[in-house]
Amino acid sequence: MSLHYDMASQPPLFAQKDIARRVAELGAEISTHYEGLLAEGETLLVVGVLNGAFVFMADLIRAMSVPLEVDFIRLSSYEDQQTSSSKIVMLKDLERDVRHRHILVVEDIADCGLTLNWLLEYLKTRDPASVRLAVAIDKKARREHALSLDFVAFGIEDGFLIGYGLDAGRRYREFPAIYSLGG
Architecture of domain 42-180: 3-Layer(aba) Sandwich (3.40)
What's the mean pLDDT in 138-161? 92
Q: Check if 59 is active-site.
A: no
What does the DSSP assignment read for 97-111?
A: --TT-EEEEEEEEES
Query: What are the extents of the domains in the chain?
Result: 42-180
List phi, psi (to 5°) of 30.
-65, -45
20 φ/ψ angles, rounded to the nearest 5 degrees: -60, -45
pLDDT in tens, 84-135: 357 899 999 999 999 999 999 999 999 988 999 999 999 999 999 999 999 9
pLDDT band at 5 (very low <50, low <70, confident <90, very high): low
Task: Please identify which of the residues 111, 127, 150, 167 carries the catalytic annotation.
Answer: 111
Query: What is the per-residue pLDDT across 166-181, written as a single tens digit (0 to 9) for each?
Result: 999 889 999 999 999 8
79 pLDDT more than 60: no
- pTM here? 0.90
With a CB cutoff of 8 Å and minimum separation 6, the contacts of 35 are 65, 66
